[in-house]
Every structure is written in structure tokens, then in C-alpha cells.
């Protein structure tokens, strides 16, 4: 690790708050804990909290779980303060720690701290996605939610048909037809928006073209690859991507 780290802070992030577990980088020992609001006011309180304990942002490694949404503003703030930020997948942290007893936000923060302390050789410094790539990620998340809604409406129809209740299936299908048609139109608009964002960026357009040149890789797979690899900058080799 190029950057000198004196202090490690594990953070468990939720919608409204984030819990801290702070320890030195010389031994596995929790120094102190805190729970702050997950908003700009809470971040200002974090500044004061660290200053009171004579911790400098530039000497800290912050390790957070990837929540998909709730960690984004906090991670961005920590980067702006000059800290080293590591956003790890919940699955990776859980598997590395084995079977654990107890469950709470504070306990989870301690586990994240311990994970970061023990696995510093695996650190993958967090970098914010560029604006276009983040918009694509948000559109793909919305796309997933719409597809889930469509599936939810279609499922009862299939189940009714499977047990021979044809008339009930027809009634259910008719009742949901307008909603499904509307959501499918929204899906088309979302796909258009994503392609517009890709085509506006020379770099993303080039990488998208390379990705879709691979057999069986289409629009959806290529879009996810761009997001997951942060525009093919997150990994140094295909092997790293496959093994993650």
C-alpha cells in the first residue's frame, strides 16, 4: 500500500446512520466507536469527532461495505478529505470472517474494521465513477426494478394457466396488460437513455463496442461490464474479474 495508514476505520452504512469502529494500524484493537447521521450534518460531526481525537483524514483508511446506494455520498465525502477509501462487497467480508455470532450495526462496523486490518494486501482503492457511468448504473438499477415489477404481474397469470384456471388467468392478464405495456415502454426509454450516454462518451462508446464484439455479449451484459469494472479500469486482467 503506497499511502501510509496510521488508523483504520470500519464503517457500517445504513439509510439514516453510519456506525464507526476505529483502531490503530499496529494491532487489532478497537479504540472507540460512534454512530452518526448519514447526511452532510453527520459528516460535519465526523470532522469534529476525528479532530477531537487528533485523527487526520489523510492518515486514515476507511473501509465500507458496498450498499449500492447509501454509501455513495459518504465515500465521495471521504475522498474529498484526502482519505484512502476502500468499498468492499458484503459477500467478500462475510466469507473472509467465517461464521460470526451476533448482529448489529456496531458489531458489523467492528467486523469491517477487522477485515480491513487483516486484508490490507487486497485493498482496491475506491474511485468514483465518472458522471456518465454513474448515470448508466442508476438507469440499470431502475431497469432491474421495472423488470421485477413486470415479472411480479406476469407470475400469477402463468400460475393460473399451469393449473388449468384459464378464465381467471385471462382476467388477470387483461387487468395487468396496461400496466405491463406502460412499463415496457419505460424500459425502451431507459435503454435509449443508456445508449445516448454511452455514445456521448468516446471512451465508453469504444469500450462498449469492444465488449459487444464478443459473442453472446449484448446491450445488457456490456452495460453491466462497464459499470462493474468502472469502465474496465477496476481490474488489471480478465482473471481478476473472473475470480472476484
pLDDT digits (tens, 9 = 90+) for 182-236: 999 999 999 999 999 999 999 999 999 989 998 989 999 999 988 888 787 766 6
What is the rounded average pLDDT of the residues 130-144? 89
Work out the end-to-end distance of the chain between its first and last CA atoms, rounded to an integer number of angstroms: 20
> What is residue 31's three-state secondary structure?
strand
Could you tell me the pLDDT band of residue 2, with boundaries at 50, 70 and 90?
A: low
How far is Cα 91 from Cα 138, in angstroms, rounded to an integer? 22
* pLDDT tens digit sequence for 34-77: 889 999 999 999 999 999 888 899 999 999 988 878 888 899 89
What is the rounded average pLDDT of the residues 155-175? 93
Sheet holding 60-65, edge to edge: 30-37, 17-24, 7-13, 60-65, 84-88
Best mean pLDDT range from 85-94, 123-132, 233-242: 85-94
Task: State the sign of the Cα–Cα–Cα–Cα dihedral 121, 26, 86, 92.
Answer: positive
Q: What is the pTM of this model?
A: 0.65
Amino acid at each position: 500500500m503506497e499511502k501510509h495508514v496510521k488508523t483504520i476505520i470500519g464503517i457500517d452504512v445504513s439509510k439514516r446512520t453510519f456506525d464507526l469502529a476505529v483502531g490503530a494500524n499496529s494491532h487489532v484493537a478497537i479504540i472507540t466507536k460512534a454512530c452518526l447521521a448519514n447526511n452532510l450534518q453527520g459528516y460535519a460531526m465526523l470532522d469534529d469527532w476525528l479532530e477531537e481525537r487528533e485523527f487526520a483524514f489523510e492518515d486514515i483508511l476507511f473501509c465500507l461495505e458496498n450498499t449500492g446506494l447509501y454509501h455513495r455520498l459518504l465515500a465521495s465525502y471521504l475522498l474529498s478529505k484526502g482519505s484512502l477509501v476502500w468499498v468492499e462487497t458484503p459477500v467478500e467480508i462475510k466469507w473472509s470472517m467465517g461464521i460470526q455470532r451476533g448482529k448489529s450495526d456496531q458489531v458489523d462496523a467492528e467486523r469491517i474494521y477487522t477485515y480491513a486490518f487483516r486484508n490490507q494486501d487486497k485493498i482496491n482503492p475506491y474511485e468514483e465513477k465518472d458522471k456518465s457511468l454513474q448515470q448508466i448504473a442508476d438507469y440499470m438499477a431502475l431497469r432491474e426494478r421495472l423488470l421485477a415489477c413486470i415479472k411480479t404481474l406476469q407470475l400469477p397469470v402463468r400460475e393460473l394457466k399451469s393449473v388449468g384456471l384459464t378464465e381467471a388467468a385471462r382476467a388477470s392478464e387483461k387487468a395487468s396488460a396496461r400496466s405491463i405495456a406502460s412499463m415496457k415502454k419505460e424500459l425502451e426509454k431507459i435503454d435509449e437513455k443508456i445508449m445516448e450516454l454511452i455514445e456521448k462518451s468516446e471512451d465508453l462508446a469504444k469500450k462498449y463496442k469492444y465488449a459487444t464484439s464478443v459473442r453472446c455479449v449484448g446491450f445488457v451484459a456490456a452495460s453491466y461490464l462497464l459499470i462493474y469494472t468502472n469502465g474496465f479500469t477496476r481490474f488489471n486482467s480478465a482473471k481478476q474479474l473472473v475470480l472476484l
